[in-house]
Amino acid sequence: MRAVEPVRAMLTRPTLLTCLLTLLIAAPLALHELARTPIEPRAPSHTVESRLDGFGPSARARLAAPFSRAGVPYPPARVRLAAFKAEGRLELFAAAGPGGAGDAALRFIKSYRMTAGPLPVAQAPKGPKRRAGDRRVPEGLYRLHTLNPNSVAHVSIRIGYPNRFDRARAEAEGRAPESLGDAIMLHGGGPSGTEGCLALADREMEELFTLLADARADAARRGDTAPADILIAPRDFRTASLDHAALEAMTDGAPWTARLHREIDRSLAALPTADPAARYRAWLAAD
């Protein structure tokens, strides 16, 4: 046995040395992969159609009752969302037609819990988004653009930030267009917070993803489009007074922010409620 020990030791030392060298080489590579994973898009493994095949039927079943109560056929011809950052609430409105009167008027469908930007909300940066990396959520009226079935946060809908208003303010202040940032999303993964985006629970995000996909597909069959946009407000001005002090607390020092909030207030005041007869008028322009 004693003659075997030196041989065993000789075999063991190279093995330990090899393991240590492997760890020294592999560990930095592994850390690099972990560090970059959160900011890289998930490898394409789904399509919009495959996502709808998976969760579409259950999402449509959950939407059936609120659409029926509102008297709006599914899928609708027009969709509007209203997001309230301070309250953490997202409201869904829809219309049977593209116009704004009678049966084509937007009607309230349902509301969702939502997280706007980083948590805690009380300590999140105030004011509308002005530049890339400022961790702020945009404020104003934005079109809802592409559906992303491969989001790192389940599924997502791209918000059309910056809009004309954002670009005009940047130009007036001498900020370069490329400094505004982009890739603002309405995505799943909430309520853990998000950087500059709006987050919902996965199950609720599936409803909005399915709704928008169905509305667009139905409009395409008619040779039409299904307008869809989102009005993002710092808070619900319909239930909280729009006084000067409150505006100052939300302006972030930019003089134009108070004017933006007044325009948002006018649009919110015109939104319909649960009353099907309520009329709607848009004051802000989305592009």
Residue boundaries of the structural domains of the chain: 1-40, 43-270
Give the list of residues 6+ apart from residue 112 with CB closer than 8 angstroms, or none. Answer: 89, 90, 91, 92, 200, 201, 204, 208
pLDDT by residue, tens only, the chain of 287 residues: 454 454 444 444 555 455 444 444 444 444 333 333 334 355 679 999 999 999 999 999 999 999 999 999 999 999 999 999 989 999 999 999 866 555 568 899 999 999 998 888 777 888 899 999 999 999 999 999 999 999 999 999 999 999 999 999 999 999 998 999 989 999 999 777 788 999 999 999 999 999 999 999 999 999 999 999 999 999 888 887 666 566 666 666 778 888 898 889 888 887 876 554 445 555 677 77
Q: What is the DSSP letter of 122?
A: G
Q: For residue 4, count CB atoms less than 10 angstroms from its CB and return exposed for 0-12, middle for 13-18, buried for 19 or more.
A: exposed
Enter the pTM of the model: 0.80
CATH class of 43-270: mainly beta
